[in-house]
Amino acid sequence: MPRMTFAQAIDYALGEAMARDERVVTFGEDVTMLRRDLHVRFGPRRVRQAPISEAAFLAAGVGAAMAGLRPVVEIMMVDFIAVAFDALLNEATKVRAFSGGKWSVPLVVRAACGGGYGDGGQHEQCLWGLLSGMPGIAVVVPSNPADAAGLMLSAIEHEDPVVFLEHKLLSDYWLDYLGRGGRKTVDFDVPREGAEGEVASPPEAVPIGRARLVREGRDLSLVSLGVSLHRCVEAARSLAERGISAEIIDLRSACPLDVEALAATARRTGRVLVVDEDYFAYGLSGEVAALLAEAGVKADFARLCTREVVPYDRRREDETLPGVRGIEEAALRLCG
């Protein structure tokens, strides 16, 4: 299988989908630059530049989906979804219910997310918990190139709105634009296995809502997604040296969650630690706890999340976001 970067894998899958189905189009700010290979390959009618108005072009994406297209709308950073939220909250996610199932909105919203590169709390949020709270939506967060390609295929084929989130530490072009940007004083901890890897040719679809068992263990389960998944893998190696066997689950989708996989790992180990780069309160980690309780699973539970506004200062930023040392400490407390 060919090796690709995380970003190449997403565009590879998008290109395959566009080649198979002429209804697949993509548009957004600077998209003719960001997706220049697709622009050359498919032309300006299917790779369309949009003005700087997320509210307008996301609403246009909803209309295009209702009219029969399969649009992939780029919002650049998920933080910007705030100015276009109405199109998701009150339009895209409501159409199927309000029409009695006669209409659907097969729309993909593609956006970069996450921190760890010194850009502050208005550009480094994850927000998958906020987005997942809306009925009628799916939210996917791949952690490696193969899953990124597979989830993009599934998102495009999905009959309802999907938010596709790519972490900026994994997508090298976002890190170049936003993280480096001429700066020589900022260091990044990029997970190698997430930033580059093998991708099937043609890419294989990854079902939305299905988690992946990354590593088997017996003492506790580390449940995560995106870049934090790789922090868990690194922490598990260190915990193994202390005699603690950690199982790792990659959620891959923040919504819907794979309840069966969550319940199975919790029953195997009896302890669950959710590592979530998104906010602590009213989010993914609390949803995991609620689903386990509703499933009747008895397990000790803890969570490591972002509890405050992400600071610009890189040292304080690393102390705010879930990291390897924090995961180790939380795991030791849970197992203590």
83/216 Cα distance (integer angstroms): 42
CB 274 within 8 A of CB 223: yes
**Closest C-alpha to 228, from 300, 146, 327, 149:** 327
Alpha carbon distances (Å) from 70 to 10, 38, 142, 225: 16, 16, 21, 26
Please state at what angle helix 284-294 crosses helix 259-269, rounded to 10 degrees.
80
Question: Who contacts 187 (Cβ-Cβ below 8 Å, separation ≥6)?
Answer: 314
Of the candidates 326, 132, 322, the residue with the CA atom closest to the CA atom of residue 238: 326
What residue has token string 């032309």? 43
Judge whether 208 and 158 are in contact, CB under 8 Å: yes
Could you tell me which of 144, 137, 127 has the C-alpha nearest to residue 203?
Answer: 144
The phi, psi pair for 110, rounded to 5°, reads: -100, 130
Which of 105, 107, 102, 125 lies closest to 115, judged by CA? 125
Nearby residues of 205 by Cβ (< 8 Å), 6 or more positions away: 150, 153, 154, 157
Contact (CB, 8 A) for 11 and 173: no
Active site residue 123: yes
Angle between helices 227-241 and 324-335 (to 10 degrees): 50
* Selected catalytic residue, list 39, 123, 167, 230: 123
Active site residues: 123
